[in-house]
Amino acid sequence: MSDPPVWISIRAALQADLAAGRYRPGDRLPSEAALAARFGVNRHTLRRAIAALAEAGLVQARRGAGVFVTARPMEYPLRRRTRFHQSLIAAGQAPDRRVLSLETRAADGDEAAALDLTAGALVHVFEGVNLTGGLPLAHFCSVFCATRFPALAALLAETRSITESLRRAGLADYTRRSTRLSAERADPLRAGHLLLPVGAPVLRTVAINVDAAGRPVEYGQSWFAGDRIQLVVEAE
């Protein structure tokens, strides 16, 4: 019998490295050049081995970032008072947030309906990406009534925290009234924000948060990387 192709041997060697814990979940593998030099092969052969590992769910290539060992999805509970950063800290992760845009404009139909506003009312729109360890977990867009919270845009720019900004704006507490869940395929924009291939699965949530009197405070949409987050609905 003939010997197996070289790429199969490389795949087996890298798989053994993963099994031995030389590269942990979330770690970036050495560059293509470094791995090609290690195994004495060209990059085409190496890419076949990496592709086989990716098909097995062991690694994931991120556009412009490299190849990473697949991490176990983080559990994100959907409770009445779930706060994204607090959930990450509770899971032993270091939360971070990249702000993409912050503007005050007229509400569209969905935003006005969700916040019980008249059509065209002014709203603050806060868009960004939630990350841990440099890895994007969710792309979000949150909308608030600008008349009720006139200083909120400046507070969000300063703190990058929705909970802290609302507290400084005079709202000490808010809870989740409803959340709708759906599955989608990442379009080019979402894929870019989440470092996913175009068409990769994402979990979309559409939530309305309210104050103690039941008045809408926030209309939020989030798109979670499907392989990095498990949304957990818990009874309270």
**At which residue do the structure tokens 């959907």 appear?**
78
Token representation of residue 117:
């506003």
Report the C-alpha gap between 57 and 211 in whole angstroms: 42
The CATH homologous superfamily of the domain defined by 74-233: Chorismate lyase-like (3.40.1410.10)
The CATH topology of domain 6-69 is Arc Repressor Mutant, subunit A (1.10.10)
Report the C-alpha gap between 195 and 24 in whole angstroms: 19
Report the C-alpha gap between 154 and 18 in whole angstroms: 46
pTM higher than 0.75: no
pLDDT per position as a tens digit, 142-189: 999 999 999 999 999 999 999 999 999 999 999 999 999 999 999 999
pLDDT at 3: 62
Residue ranges matching CATH 3.40.1410.10 in the chain? 74-233
Beta-sheet strands, E only, within 59-193: 59-62, 66-69, 74-78, 95-106, 122-132, 135-145, 175-185
With b for 16 or more beta-carbon neighbours within 10 A and e for fewer, the 112-121 pattern comes to bebbebeeeb
pLDDT per position as a tens digit, 92-134: 667 789 999 999 999 999 999 999 999 899 999 999 999 887 7
Residue ranges matching CATH 1.10.10.10 in the chain? 6-69
Report the C-alpha gap between 154 and 104 in whole angstroms: 11
